Structure 1
């Protein structure tokens, strides 16, 4: 935030000591928490009724220290985007990622799945990874649901099951199973190379700091779920979230309008490369905590 104790110490010309640094860190935390608390109603009023307001604010408080260098406007805009979609900024449904002093709203794979579930015709959504030694088969000409089969080797550890070879996703709609979306690594790389502007920019500037560089598997998973969006009933809200995902990847995009709220895209006309992003940690492929995942174009 602006005018922090750290700024005042620097302005006074006082060399920071170990004790001073500790005080500064505490002051930064206290300041960010006070800032968030003063605007709590602003965010909670934007939440859908089914989202627990206290829990949302608890998650928001947990990420505030990582956003201490970001502008008030970008934090406000990003948190409001999370609230209006009803997604927690926990790194799984959505993330707020600091690019230098700009906080950026980034939908994650579980956020896409969450919005699919909200459609009254969608009964369930499934995502999983196929590992090398798993039993699986895909016969696209067979009738659903006999066209696809996957049985993980539960008698083996994840390492013993071998490396991930496929990501897949499908949904049950009105009691019938949708087409199965299957994506291998080379297909995910083709999506990355063709569509991701962030990846191309990170390659060109040599930083290699795009999410495709830092967390390929999460982007592979989200690519599969993004393709599933095309075969499930799509709400206006889900279409907006997909657009927000595209805008997060497109560093030259104009401000994204999300249900009446402009998500800040500061310095959008600048030719300077964006600073490296602090991408959240995601579950590893096939782990027990990664039962559902989500195309970043």
Structure 2
């Protein structure tokens, strides 16, 4: 009886032995981010164009969240809202959400530009490709379209057997006619990088060499070619806004982009339901590292 009384007394005074609290696991963070997304789901789904599957978009958003655990919830919300506004999945192909310190930043990729070009009623198709050293190709700008450009890949060879990439090219078919062919070699792409990318310049100065131009040169080379194609396809307000958002993302520590026609959530509550400041971050836990990349401007 005395043992029971002692245990009751210890429990009342908070002195009873408690098991050591285990560290937060990745699964717990997954539950936290899932709940966070569910509370804001209508903001994102309401912004999506009708042709985009809402459930799939939210699933892709959930998959990218572990890379953003150190970012503010306000910047994550704005970046996902930008993806939704343009109808681009944050899958690293159409668009990416890049953590710059504690700021999550929306950044369109070359497939995202192509996706928006396709939406114009006058655009029949858009094509991007790589020319490798052993491919058959020719470009004679004085010839009429489509005889001015020819590319035949050596499909009987593996990519490495075809040699290194020497050119990126892009063109569109508009009202049944082929557009100007945009051709960009490595040297031209490097000049774009050196002239326009603030992220590249900063990564060179600080010695980290962690910009997208350092970590994934070919992806930025491809996007540079497709961005030039934007100048020769029918324009739209949506495509112009995407270009501006891409330019803004080149700053390595930008403020979250403000996308026209969207609504920002203000009920930023944590997983416990308590109101949090807009600078609140996800719980600290062991997470896989994530790289960073930045856009190019032209």
| TM-score bracket relative to the smaller structure | 0.7 to 0.9
Say whether 1:110 aligns with 2:123.
no
Query: Shift of the alpha carbon at 1:208?
Result: 0.8
Distance change in 2, residues 1:94/1:176 (3 Å) = same
Over residues 54-102 of structure 1, what are the superposed CA-to-partner deviations in whole Å (9 max), with x where a residue is unaligned?
Answer: 1101111111111122111011000000001001111101011112221
Structure ID, larger Rg? 2
* 2:166 aligned counterpart, secondary structure: strand
Query: Shift of the alpha carbon at 1:295?
Result: 5.8
Q: TM-score, normalised on structure 2?
A: 0.81
Q: TM-score, normalised on structure 1?
A: 0.81
Distance change in 2, residues 1:80/1:255 (3 Å) = closer
Aligned to 1:10: none
Aligned to 2:87: 86
Runs of 4+ off more than 6 Å: none
Over residues 211-250 of structure 1, what are the superposed CA-to-partner deviations in whole Å (9 max), with x where a residue is unaligned?
Answer: 1011000000000000000000010000000111100003
Unaligned runs of 5+ in 1: 1-16, 268-275, 281-293
Over residues 223-280 of structure 1, what are the superposed CA-to-partner deviations in whole Å (9 max), with x where a residue is unaligned?
Answer: 00000000000100000001111000034766643223499xx99xxxxxxxx97248
Query: Shift of the alpha carbon at 1:24?
Result: 2.9
Give me the CA root mean square deviation: 2.3
Aligned to 1:214: 215
Aligned to 2:132: 131
Q: Distance in 1 between matches of 2:255 and 2:99?
A: 18
Distance change in 2, residues 1:93/1:163 (3 Å) = same
Aligned to 2:167: 166
Aligned to 1:204: 205
Say whether 1:77 aligns with 2:90.
no
**Contact 2:196–2:296 (CA under 8 A) maintained in structure 1:** no
Q: Distance in 1 between matches of 2:255 and 2:34?
A: 30
Q: Distance in 2 between matches of 1:48 and 1:233?
A: 20
Query: Shift of the alpha carbon at 1:202?
Result: 0.8
Q: Distance in 2 between matches of 1:296 and 1:249?
A: 7
**Contact 1:210–1:277 (CA under 8 A) maintained in structure 2:** no
Aligned to 1:283: none
Over residues 145-204 of structure 1, what are the superposed CA-to-partner deviations in whole Å (9 max), with x where a residue is unaligned?
Answer: 000000000111111100000000000000000000000000000000111111111111
Compare relative contact order (CA 8 Å, sep 6+) and give the higher one, 1 or 2: 2
Q: Which of 16, 20, 23 in structure 1 is aligned with 2:22?
A: 20
Say whether 1:40 aligns with 2:41.
yes
Number of positions where the alignment pairs a residue of Structure 1 with one of Structure 2: 256
Query: Shift of the alpha carbon at 1:43?
Result: 0.8
Say whether 1:225 aligns with 2:226.
yes
Query: Shift of the alpha carbon at 1:38?
Result: 1.2
**Contact 2:146–2:178 (CA under 8 A) maintained in structure 1:** yes
Q: Distance in 1 between matches of 2:220 and 2:229?
A: 14
